[in-house]
Structure 1
Amino acid sequence: MDDDSSASVGRTRAEIHEANVVRPYKLVPQTGWRKGVYKATRLNLGLSKDETHWNDLKRRLKVNVRGRYVIAVMQGKGGVTKTTSAAILGAVLAQYRDEKVVAIDGNPASGNLAKRIDEPSTESWRGLNADPRLINYSDFRNYLGKDSHSGLEVLGSDRGKVPMSGADLREAWARLQKLYPIAIVDCGTQHLDDLTRAILDYLPIDALVVPSTTSLDSAIEASATLNWLMDEGYPHLVREAVVIVSNVKKVDASTQVKQLHKDFERTVKSVHSVGFDPHLSDAVAIDINRLQPQTWQTYVEAAASLADGFTRAAEREPQQPSHPQRSPQQPGPMVGQQQPGPGPWQQGGGQGQWQGNQHPGAGQWPTDGRWQGGQNR
């Protein structure tokens, strides 16, 4: 027997010997009838499938994130649970993680994200940006509301006559990221303003959530949002997107809508279906303790899909302070296409404006699910 074979046998014997000495540990059930059996008889039947699934979700949610991680909730149509999804996903991350999580109302049309938490602040991003003495955590808390159930903090919109611009959002995030490593941005319905460009190119966002409903117009608009991102040169965001389909009106999806949802599954990272929940239909401050158990579990699963990308945050190259760049996760241009770089970010007068080249399409994903003009994967 040669030396390599002898060494291999030696390692095998050592492993077998250790396995015989140390008994494998079986986790004790913490829920369900198995927990009752263990408490009454000390007989450990192991974890159920559901409890194993929950433990895996919590493990994924607690993965360390290095640097900063920004999630955008984007859809071109109103009334599709965009703000609801931003608030609940933020609540999930805030509840299961140790660091601070902030949700930012990035709707230039005075969004209502702050109204979906039970402790809103009377302040907004405008006061935050104007404060020259933001040093301690208490200084920031003066401008942010808080969800007392999860710990999620919210930077609300301003009710003034001047809407938030891209430069305003850029300044707010430059301040917030000192204390809040994870942010969720509730975007508006317009994709062509400079605020959207700031979200995509300056922050930049690491993950995308596209809400939809069981109605046909909402599903079509969700697919249009994904197509627009492909056309604008963000295929990496589409591939890693999380789609949340909510039954907000207690109406089952038609055959056509179900087909669109299947098309989503072939294009994005994951699709999660939320059933009708009476608490969410009221459009009031969300109490996560009043959600249906299945509603909460679905949002936890969606948040876990987002958290799967946390380990890649450290691979992102640092942003240049005066010129936004594409995320390094974005692949090169499609065969036969040239992809110019983004234009410079212009500051001045509090109204950031995007100037520069439009990115050529990287393929179109129509509503029939057939890919055109490029490669989907």
Structure 2
Amino acid sequence: MNTRHPDHPSRTDAVPLRHISQLAGSNPADDRTDLEDRFGRRFAYLRLSITDVCNFRCEYCLPNGYQGKPTGFLHQSEIERLVSTFAELGIRKIRITGGEPLVRKDALEIIAHAAATPGIEKVALTTNAFNLADQAEKLKQAGLSAVNVSLDSLDPAGFERITGDKRHAKVMAGIDAALTAGIDTVKINTVLLAGLNDHELPDFMEFVRSRPISVRFIELMQTADNGDYFRKRHVSGGEVAEQLLAAGWSPIKRGETDGPAVEYAHPDYAGRIGLITPYAAGFCDGCNRLRVTARGGLRLCLFGNGTHDLRPLLQDDADRPALKQSIFDALFQKDVSHFLHKGDYGDTPNLASTGG
């Protein structure tokens, strides 16, 4: 489980005793239908990785390509039991992630089951879009309501430089296919990289002038294996925010099940520009999401330490009360924030390993 940082007390004294008793497991889990931590944060959003395999070699994540063992991932039946249990606990939005989730042959079936699960209002997918053009219509029919495409450059040469892949045209075709298929929300994730794509903000603005797409610029985050790269390529999201404000863009209110992006709108543009700035003060205050890894580990924070193994309780419906209690007990140990600003990035080796 997450360890507490010595400079950041747990703040238990500030939490009403009723929350402590509930979260510590004194009430039967079957009687509770909400996920709330000891700081009063409520969780309605689950990011579920279904594989840590990725077929791209993005230099900020997997510069040497996938090096793990592509085995041991949760089976479809385990995923279905996990999704329905979290739905009973108040999760309303599921994001299917990886690695690259569409390398799994049963990805469509997983998405369809999640979309049909009572209580789940939105099923989203994060993908590198290597075959989204072929899958977009099927994904829409399966019940997918949102797709986020990883696209780190609008320039084919820049794309290949960053991702190690030549399929820029297929990714762009996938974005168009998602719009044509009528998927409700289409977004682009772009990791800000000094000297590689930080000059492309005007191009991305122009890209969303007539497209109802949200482009979210993500600050590069330090992990266990990218220290030198981080110091060379990190760009503060604040620099982009200043440019957006100067160009007449305005921040808009964040929804209850939205991710951490602060989005900006402009009356002359159909799309939006968003910023995900994990080093900004107060970034964790509105945390509303939990993560489960492809092998069934509950992670309370992307940059925490350790996982809480849920897999033993995913084998039989009879284990559901114990599974719920295990989730509540784990949530009680969630820290008030990550500690990236102190150089503590937990035990995350790379973003592909935890679903990002």
State if a TM-score over 0.5 links the two structures: no
Structure of greater Rg: 1
- Higher share of residues assigned helix: 1
TM-score interval for Structure 1 and Structure 2 normalised by the shorter chain: 0.3 to 0.5
